[in-house]
Amino acid sequence: MGMSPAAAGAQGGGRRGRRARRHRAIAEINMTPFIDVMLVLLIIFMVAAPLIATGVPLDLPQTGAKPINVDQKPVTIAIDGKGQIFLMDEPTLEPDLVSRLQGLAKQGFDERIYVRADKLVDYGRVASVMSTITAAGFKRVALVTEPAAR
């Protein structure tokens, strides 16, 4: 009434065969992590795109720049700590600035104008002088600064 070893092996082999069929490897790709990563990237790019697209066109000085044109002295406007305007080292008033600039500008409205201002000058005063210059038609206005000490 006991089972023979051959019969037991036959039954055991049958069980193993059923288990192998039940625990097969799934050949499907799980798309959930892929979709999560793509949605996160989409949100990041949607937030970052407006920040990259907007910008202010500035004429900034470059490091290691070559010397200014040696043949002619550049047109410079200086604003001292008290807010007084100097055109080519001569004091002038803001209403007279445009007419005097037009007389000095050899290249017309394409002349580059350098604006230097003291650190103590109010930002509004510098902006007012620059807007007066650009409203007259001069488009190449640059701010002059000193390089930072290292």
More confident residue, 1 or 90: 90
pLDDT band at 42 (very low <50, low <70, confident <90, very high): very high
CB 131 within 8 A of CB 102: no
| pTM flag (> 0.75) | no
Place of tokens 């790709």: 29
Q: Kindly provide the residue ranges of all beta strands, DSSP E only, lying in 20-145, ordered along the sequence.
A: 75-79, 85-87, 90-92, 113-117, 141-143
Domain at 111, CATH number: 3.30.420.270
Q: Is 111 part of a structural domain of the chain?
A: yes
User: What is the distance between the alpha carbons of residues 85 and 95, in angstroms, rounded to a whole number?
Assistant: 11
Q: Is 42 part of a structural domain of the chain?
A: no
User: What is the distance between the alpha carbons of residues 23 and 49, in angstroms, rounded to a whole number?
Assistant: 48
Percentage of residues of the chain with pLDDT beyond 70: 67
Q: Is 116 part of a structural domain of the chain?
A: yes
Residues 61-105 pLDDT 10s = 434 544 555 456 778 888 888 888 888 888 888 888 888 888 887
Q: Is the pLDDT confidence value at 2 over 70?
A: no
Q: Is 43 part of a structural domain of the chain?
A: no
